Amino acid sequence: MLTGKRVRIRAKGKVFEGIVMPSFTGNLVLKLDNGYNVGFVEYELIEVLGELEKVEFKREILRKEGLPDVKIISTGGTIASKVDYRTGAVTSQFTAEEIISEIPELAEICNVSAELLYNILSENMKPAYWIELAKRVYESLKSYEGVIITHGTDTMHFSASALSFMLSTPKPVVFVGAQRSSDRPSSDATMNLLCSAKLSVSDVGEVLVCMHGSTSDDFCYAHRGVKVRKMHTSRRDAFQSINAKPVARIYYPSLEIDWLSSRFRRGERELELKDRLEEKVVLIKFFPGLSAEIIDFFHSKGYHGFVIEGTGLGHVSTDWIETLKRVCEDSIVVMTSQCLFGRVCDRVYDTGRDLLKAGVIEGEDMLPETALVKLMFLLGNYDFETAKKLVKTNLVGEIESRSVY
Ligand code: GLU
């Protein structure tokens, strides 16, 4: 691992010296002494010029009797990163000592153990990682009172959906992230983590996402993992429950919890893991003019699960009907809406009725991403006919029985 080290390289006929920055593309990214970052695809390493000093955390953590034990699993993202101002490198070791020394108030809520599972930006997540994460959480739930997962915010709702379906949990499993890294004055990391710690020891047995509820530092929302979506690129209150109420509001700094909707309570469900996902499932956003060849393409590659983000109530062009009819013979096709808010209803217009006749299944009020992960889960764990039936069955709160206006 060269990350964080000063190196001398030869590239493009010249010699460069600088600090190796974290890179997720496979290219070498150097921070030069003039402060600029430069990426190199081809280079020759001449010399490693030294190691960075490790930051030592002196604070000793004493386990407090009587406080619940909570496991924090880190997967990366902004919440786990700290910028080293000497180098500009973003680092994360994420030991319990590091977390507690950053946020000492955590030690008043629970005894924290920490595990660094991944250190990736969440756009680099994949179903195989969701499976591994679900297994780690499952193991942790056997001995801890709750689990917190720190995660990049971009795809947090996919991971939260995956764990919601794969894990039946009697205890809280709380995803948390940050829109601004902890070294920035406007960071949301501390408040989000403290609120999620409080949730992780509370009376709930579900997979939740805990993020800022407003642009001020006054409360966080706990969203159901299958009903939440990032709705803004940068606001601290970017996460919203869609077609559902948040599960709870956690006030800051009092950390009092207001439960806002019905929930699985702590101990209500048995701990169980279904650890298979079918990866050959695709989410396709329809737009005017998109050819149904896209469906044939994936079908010819062995895909048997399709989620379509249709227009309005759940439509695609009439040109698609014949293709969909054919594909529905051996595949599950679920219709969701690019409106996100509201429920799919294909009984209103002719296109919709034709889609239903072709075998397309209405995705009710499910988010497209939730429907995608659900279909991966269903095709991975059940036979085809059962999977088909379960699409419209509410399993873990992903479908609300009625839409409230
Ligand atoms: N895009 C990165 C991610 O989702 C960083 C942003 C963040 O952590 O919120 O992991």
Q: Is the CB of 81 under 6 A from ligand 1?
A: no
Count how many Cα atoms sit within 13 Å of the Cα of residue 293 in the half-sphere of its side chain.
3
Task: Give me ligand 1 centre to Cα 43, in Å.
Answer: 29
Q: Is the CB of 152 under 6 A from ligand 1?
A: yes
Rounded distance, CA 201 to CA 182, Å? 23
Rounded distance, CA 90 to CA 285, Å? 34
Q: Which amino acid is at 122?
A: S
Task: Give me ligand 1 centre to Cα 232, in Å.
Answer: 13
CATH topology of 5-51 equal to that of 281-390? no
Mutating to test ligand 1, I would choose from 123, 154, 186, 212 the residue with most ligand atoms within 8 A of its C-beta, which is 154
Q: Is the CB of 75 under 6 A from ligand 1?
A: no
- pLDDT at site 57: 39
Q: Do 180 and 188 contact (CB within 8 A), yes or no?
A: yes
Can you tell me which atom of ligand 1 is nearest the CA of 78?
8
Q: Is the CB of 177 under 6 A from ligand 1?
A: yes
Q: What is the CATH number of domain 5-51?
A: 2.30.30.520
Rounded distance, CA 222 to CA 243, Å? 15
DSSP 311: B
* CA torsion, ordered 178, 187, 190, 37, to nearest 10 deg: 70
- pLDDT at site 103: 84
Task: Give me ligand 1 centre to Cα 95, in Å.
Answer: 20
Give one word for 86, left, alpha or beta, with left for phi > 0 and alpha for psi -120 to 50.
alpha
Task: Give me ligand 1 centre to Cα 119, in Å.
Answer: 11
In 170-246 the beta strands, taken as DSSP E runs, fall at 173-176, 207-212, 219-224, 228-230, 239-241
Give one word for 212, left, alpha or beta, with left for phi > 0 and alpha for psi -120 to 50.
beta
Domain locations in the chain as residue ranges? 5-51, 69-273, 281-390
Task: Give me ligand 1 centre to Cα 207, in Å.
Answer: 20
Mutating to test ligand 1, I would choose from 74, 90, 123 the residue with most ligand atoms within 8 A of its C-beta, which is 123
Domain spanning 69-273, CATH class? alpha beta
| Residue carrying the six token digits 């991971």 | 159
Q: Is the CB of 123 under 6 A from ligand 1?
A: yes
Alpha carbon nearest to ligand 1 atom 7, residue: 152
Rounded distance, CA 222 to CA 247, Å? 5
Rg (CA), the chain: 23
Q: Is the CB of 92 under 6 A from ligand 1?
A: no
* 79, two tokens: 């919440």
Q: Catalogue the active-site residues.
A: 78, 153-154, 230
In 353-392 the beta strands, taken as DSSP E runs, fall at 361-362
- pLDDT at site 200: 98
- In the chain (405 residues long), the average pLDDT of successive 10-residue segments reads 82 87 66 72 87 47 87 84 58 67 87 89 96 98 97 96 98 93 75 96 98 95 98 95 98 97 97 98 98 98 98 97 98 98 91 94 98 98 98 97 72
Alpha carbon nearest to ligand 1 atom 9, residue: 153
Q: Do 40 and 30 contact (CB within 8 A), yes or no?
A: yes
**Stated pTM of the model:** 0.84
Q: Is the CB of 159 under 6 A from ligand 1?
A: no
Rounded distance, CA 260 to CA 282, Å? 33
Q: Backbone phi, then psi, for 387, in 5-degree steps? A: -55, -45
pLDDT in tens, 95-137: 666 777 778 889 999 999 988 898 889 999 999 999 999 999 9
The full DSSP string for 4-15 is T-EEEEEETTEE
Rounded distance, CA 213 to CA 249, Å? 8
The CATH architecture assigned to 281-390 reads 3-Layer(aba) Sandwich (3.40)
Give the Cα-Cα-Cα angle 202, 133, 400 (nearest 5 degrees). 60
Helices (H), 55-154: 96-102, 106-109, 127-141
Q: Is the CB of 120 under 6 A from ligand 1?
A: no
- pLDDT at site 24: 47
Rounded distance, CA 288 to CA 290, Å? 6
In 81-206 the beta strands, taken as DSSP E runs, fall at 82-83, 90-91, 111-116, 146-150, 167-168, 173-176
Task: Give me ligand 1 centre to Cα 151, in Å.
Answer: 8
